[in-house]
Amino acid sequence: MKYIAMAAGLALSAPSLAQSPLGQHAPVAGARSQVMTLASTHLSEHKEWTAHMLEPLLAKLASFRPTIITHEGVSGEQCEAMRAFPDLYADAYEQYCWDPSLIRQKTRLAVPEALRTVRETLDAWPDNPSPAERRRLAMLFLAAGDRTSAKVQWLRLEPVERVAKDGLDDSMVEILERKGKALNESYDVAAILAARLGLERVYGVDDHTSDGALAHEGKDFEDAMSAHFTAARASPLLAAHKARESRIKDGAEMLSYYREMNAPGAQNAQIRGDFGEAMAQQSPGTPARRYVGWWDVRNLRMAANVRSVFAAKPGARVLNIVGASHKPWYDALMGMMADVEVVDASAVLR
């Protein structure tokens, strides 16, 4: 499965949108949900970039006024499910999930119990929660495997209130502070924006149950993927992409780069060079086509995870922050939903 994990940065654009089976202009009672997907580079790959460089981008995203923010992280619920099936998901669990055992020892809360308590707490959440209530909710999010939402609660505290109390100990505070950690769009874009907008949480919607579809592939698949990614790494398109990122030195250049990533059709060539080439690869048994099948499954499930977040909140304003290679599928799949209006991210970033 190591080759699947390498796929994240190799495709970056947006095809035309599909249409809902109900028709493009089906009657709806009230306003449709507004869904905007921000194509992002993975910030952790760039140790030289700083949080200050993200400020112009954050200002543009705030102007969209999202009421729900999702990010490319695996939920605690999915991690718990994958942990139960190591024959299918051992590699994915190790790469994308945190071991809950230490937090469980400290809080005496297993992930399912913590998730239920989070829901109950938010259902009864006061208009003006106390610092103690925010610290306790941060602890509950940590126990539920949702570190990004825990960070939202941490950021909503006044700096003087960011202390180890009310269920948080020093080791949990260290997780929340993330000192010395590389930038990460889940924390440094999604969580920061949520806190600034007065939201209580964000939603991890990544999916790696899709990895189970290829969990027991053989050497032909491994060889095909090795050849595919070797060719991709030597591609002039990837070299140009790296050169473009190397020129980013300040916030203005960062915003300009995000505008480029989110322009319609900006990097269709990279999608064709990755998934198009894989589909056309001539080899016995067409193993590279299985990779494209996995990618479809993953994006279908990610889009379903997004839709589930606002299914009970019609009229929501949803911001998805996701690796750029997912945006074309997000936009196409959201475009098939009658109660969704896909928002042009490039217009918001202008």
Choice between 161 and 280, residue whose per-residue pLDDT is larger: 161
Residue 208 phi/psi, 5-degree rounding, is -130, 10
Which of 265, 349, 274 minimizes the C-alpha distance to 13? 265
- 28: region left, alpha or beta (phi > 0 left; psi from -120 to 50 alpha): beta
Provide the pLDDT for residue 346. Answer: 97
What is the distance between the alpha carbons of residues 149 and 291, in angstroms, rounded to a whole number? Answer: 32
Residue type, 70: T
Give the start-to-end residue ranges of the domains of the chain: 2-72+205-349, 82-182
pLDDT in tens, 117-165: 999 999 999 999 999 999 999 999 999 999 999 999 999 999 999 999 9
50 to 54, 66, 180, 254: CA distances (angstroms): 8, 24, 11, 11
How many CA within 13 A on the CB side of residue 35?
Answer: 28
Q: What rounded mean pLDDT belongs to the chain?
A: 93
The three-state secondary structure class of 342 is strand
Taking residues 71-92, what's their average pLDDT? 97
H or E stretch at 255: helix 251-261
pLDDT at 80 > cutoff 90 = yes
Output the DSSP codes for 290-334.
HHHHHHHHHHHHHHHHHHHHHTTSTT-EEEEEEEGGGHHHHHHHH
Which band of pLDDT confidence, cut at 50, 70 and 90, is reported for residue 18? Answer: low
What is the distance between the alpha carbons of residues 88 and 82, in angstroms, rounded to a whole number? Answer: 8
Structure tokens at 86: 């190591």
Torsion, CA 9, CA 14, CA 18, CA 19, rounded to 10: 120
Sheet holding 203-204, edge to edge: 203-204, 68-71, 317-323, 33-40, 340-343
